[in-house]
Amino acid sequence: MKKILDLITDEVTKAFVECGYDAKYARVTLSNRPDLCEYQCNGAMAAAKEYKKAPFMIADEIVAILEKNPIFAMAESVKPGFLNLKIDEAYLAEYVRKMQEDEGRFGCEKSKNPKTIMIDYGGPNVAKPLHVGHLRSAIIGESVKRIGKFMGHNMIGDVHLGDWGLQMGLIITELRLRHPDLVYFDEAYEGEYPKEAPFTISELEEIYPTASKKSKEDAAYKDAAMQATFELQHGRRGYQALLSHILNVSVTDLKRNYENLNVSFELWKGESDAQPYIPDMVQKMKEDGFAYISDGALVVDVKEDTDTKEIPPCMILKSDGASLYNTTDLATIVWRMKDYNPDELIYVVDKRQELYFTQVFRCARKTGLVKPETELKFLGFGTMNGKDGKPFKTREGGVMRLEYLVSSVNEEMLKKITENQKSKENLDISEDEAKEIAKTIALAAIKYGDLSNQASKDYIFDIDRFTSFEGNTGPYILYTIVRIKSILKKYYALGKQVEGQITGAHSPSEKNLMLELSKFNAVMENALEEIAPHKICSYIYDLANAFNSFYHGTKIMAEEDELVQASYIKLLELTKSILETCIDVLGFSAPERM
Ligand code: ARG
């Protein structure tokens, strides 16, 4: 369906052209004075210059035409030359009715030229527990992926595991110290390695920090770890077998964690998967004259004349020939292009890596790893801080594990629900159900709390505010959906056989609700264009508010005119569907009751 703003712009354009003015002046926007009007057009002000006429004269001419147009309930010119517009209620109701008929899409068309978009998010590091720093990438990336899917694109999410650094050598070194007799360390061994990993996830999560700490205090230990890393990267069989055990054990645990967050990936590739592509890539960069030796290291210049700040060269290989984070990212681009030929690559990573990605993108473009038309986008996110404004930590000052954070929000939510139930003396919710509900709301609290901020901004994780049922929060949105569900249930239980449909708005609050609903397609399109899930959050907040004022001002169940009542119900159904569609693309869901 055409966006409602475009439909209105079409009418205003006709009026401008009829009066002899250029169509470009007819652009209509949402009103920034909702107390005066719903839509506005400031074109007369701009046209005044070209046509050397007072803006209000132009505005008056346009109004004279628009006044006769049935799609407007009001067309007014306001000095010095603004055009203020209100839409006709029947026209609006018709638009909203058509949205409802368009099941599942609600007037939002899929993209006419679907793209293949690969999205790199999550980015956990193998053998290290997920911490809150990984939360944002997972939440934002998942939502961007879902928005893209909804808009009809082929979205491929890749977790891009950090599985190729010194951390692997550290684990191997520590394991060797503890269990020198394991077959993996016997260089003469040529048989098959055991299927079973020689450690569990909790051991793994203990081994890594122990080894990391030791390597900082003991130079010989660190050397051993570097040597192990080198041997692993150069194909030592026993170490490669250990690497697959580490990967398997870690990935199983990561999947479980991501599942709890309603986050999933199409691809579970890691840095190590890029290794086979490195030699050829490096060779070609050298042959093409892009890569050269500087201070022993192999680099590619990526600075450009228009740079206002220094962009250092992109390092491809260290002086000892070892590959780096950059090398892996570049070689990852190689296989992504080869296997999937994406039109676009989006990276959802901490914004502190922005300079790094500028180097990688420029290098990839310059050396021809991507096509000229391939888009490379960096979506950098800010830090999640505690109430003290400093990066979120445990009470003891350690790194906050993601699981711990999630379970503390779950507990807080369970407390609230239990209190809520008691106050309503509605104690028929079993303990198990209450736990399930708490989990669902907690996830909404966490995700909405994150996504409602522009991604690039830092934000404060405030558990009291995020879990509140009032204000701009996830639980408030869910509460609104649950409220609608409960009214609908009551209505359906009456078993009325009324063929209802949305008819004209019966009150200003109902019209306002329809106005909000009608924005849906424009909001979704814009959220993808700007890669901005927060736009969907602010939309559903406005929509939930519009619904709640309609609800408070309208006797829905007591309405005597059955057709009017049926129209209300249809409107409720549409509001519910749109809210549910939106929270689904944000990556959470609503319970049946709460
Ligand atoms: N593993 C990295 C980290 O924890 C994030 C990976 C981001 N993605 C990428 N393609 N570099 O910082």
The 10s digit of each residue's pLDDT in 112-127 is: 999 999 999 999 998 8
pLDDT tens-digit readout, 246-267 = 999 999 999 999 999 999 999 9
Q: Quick check: 121 and 157 in contact, CB under 8 A? A: yes
Q: Residue of the nearest CA to atom 6 in ligand 1?
A: 123
Ligand 1 pocket member 160 (CB < 6 A): yes
State how far the alpha carbon of 515 is from the alpha carbons of 263, 518, 533, 568, in Å: 32, 5, 21, 15
Q: How far is the CA of 256 from the centre of ligand 1 (A)?
A: 20
State mean pLDDT over 16-24: 96
Strands (E) located in 180-228:
none
Kindly tell me if the per-residue pLDDT of 426 is higher than 80: no
Kindly tell me if the per-residue pLDDT of 419 is higher than 70: yes
State mean pLDDT over 205-233: 93
Q: Residue of the nearest CA to atom 12 in ligand 1?
A: 123
Q: Indicate the range of 244-253, 338-347, 542-551 predicted with least confidence.
A: 244-253
Q: Quick check: 173 and 222 in contact, CB under 8 A? A: no
Give the separation between CA 401 and CA 385, rounded to whole angstroms.
14
Residue with tokens 């051991």: 203
State mean pLDDT over 470-475: 97
Q: Quick check: 538 and 452 in contact, CB under 8 A? A: yes
Q: How far is the CA of 271 from the centre of ligand 1 (A)?
A: 9
Q: Residue of the nearest CA to atom 5 in ligand 1?
A: 123
| pLDDT band at residue 205 under the 50/70/90 scheme | confident
pLDDT tens-digit readout, 84-112 = 999 999 999 999 999 999 999 999 999 99
Tokens of 378: 């960096």
Kindly tell me if the per-residue pLDDT of 488 is higher than 90: yes
pLDDT tens-digit readout, 27-56 = 999 999 999 999 999 999 999 999 999 999
Q: Quick check: 480 and 547 in contact, CB under 8 A? A: yes
Ligand 1 pocket member 125 (CB < 6 A): yes
Give the separation between CA 358 and CA 336, rounded to whole angstroms.
18
Residue 41 β-bridge partners:
28, 83
Count the residues in the chain.
Answer: 594
Q: Quick check: 502 and 97 in contact, CB under 8 A? A: yes
Q: What pLDDT shows up at residue 428? A: 77
Kindly tell me if the per-residue pLDDT of 423 is higher than 90: no
Where is 85: in which H helix or E strand? Answer: strand 82-87
State mean pLDDT over 543-572: 96
Tokens of 335: 């296989």
Q: What pLDDT shows up at residue 427? A: 61
Q: Quick check: 341 and 320 in contact, CB under 8 A? A: no
**Measured from the CA of 162, which atom of ligand 1 is nearest?**
1
Q: Residue of the nearest CA to atom 7 in ligand 1?
A: 123
Ligand 1, pocket-test mutation among 118, 125, 273, most atoms within 8 A of CB: 125
Ligand 1, pocket-test mutation among 120, 273, 334, most atoms within 8 A of CB: 120
Residue 77 β-bridge partners:
83
Closest to 174 measured CA to CA, from 129, 127, 130? 127
Ligand 1 pocket member 142 (CB < 6 A): no
Give the separation between CA 275 and CA 356, rounded to whole angstroms.
20
Sign of torsion, CA 473 478 480 481? positive
| pLDDT band at residue 347 under the 50/70/90 scheme | very high
Ligand 1 pocket member 123 (CB < 6 A): yes
| DSSP letter, residue 315 | E
Q: Which 3 state secondary structure label does DSSP give 252? A: helix
Ligand 1 pocket member 329 (CB < 6 A): yes
Give 2's Cβ-side CA count (13 Å radius). Answer: 7
Domain definitions of the chain by residue range: 4-87, 166-260
Q: Please state, for a pLDDT cut of 70, what percent of the chain lies above it.
A: 99
Q: Quick check: 567 and 503 in contact, CB under 8 A? A: yes
Q: Quick check: 126 and 246 in contact, CB under 8 A? A: yes
pLDDT tens-digit readout, 350-401 = 999 999 999 999 999 999 999 999 999 999 999 999 888 888 777 777 777 8
Q: What pLDDT shows up at residue 398? A: 73
User: What are the two backbone dihedrals, phi and then psi, of residue 272, each rounded to the nearest 5 degrees?
Assistant: -65, -30
Ligand 1, pocket-test mutation among 353, 354, 358, most atoms within 8 A of CB: 353
Domain with residues 4-87, CATH architecture: 2-Layer Sandwich (3.30)
Question: In angstroms, how far apart are the furthest CA atoms of the chain?
Answer: 94
Give the separation between CA 500 and CA 563, rounded to whole angstroms.
6
Q: What pLDDT shows up at residue 497? A: 83
Q: What pLDDT shows up at residue 128? A: 80
Give the separation between CA 362 and CA 385, rounded to whole angstroms.
31
Q: Average pLDDT, whole number, for the chain?
A: 94
Q: Quick check: 162 and 126 in contact, CB under 8 A? A: yes
CB atoms near residue 517 (< 10 Å): 25
Residue with tokens 């780096």: 324
| pLDDT band at residue 498 under the 50/70/90 scheme | confident
Ligand 1 pocket member 162 (CB < 6 A): yes
Q: What pLDDT shows up at residue 425? A: 62
Omega before residue 80 within 30° of 0, cis: yes
Q: What pTM was computed for the model?
A: 0.94
Q: Residue of the nearest CA to atom 11 in ligand 1?
A: 329
Q: How far is the CA of 328 from the centre of ligand 1 (A)?
A: 10
Q: What pLDDT shows up at residue 131? A: 83
Ligand 1 pocket member 349 (CB < 6 A): yes
State how far the alpha carbon of 492 is from the alpha carbons of 506, 562, 581, in Å: 22, 13, 22
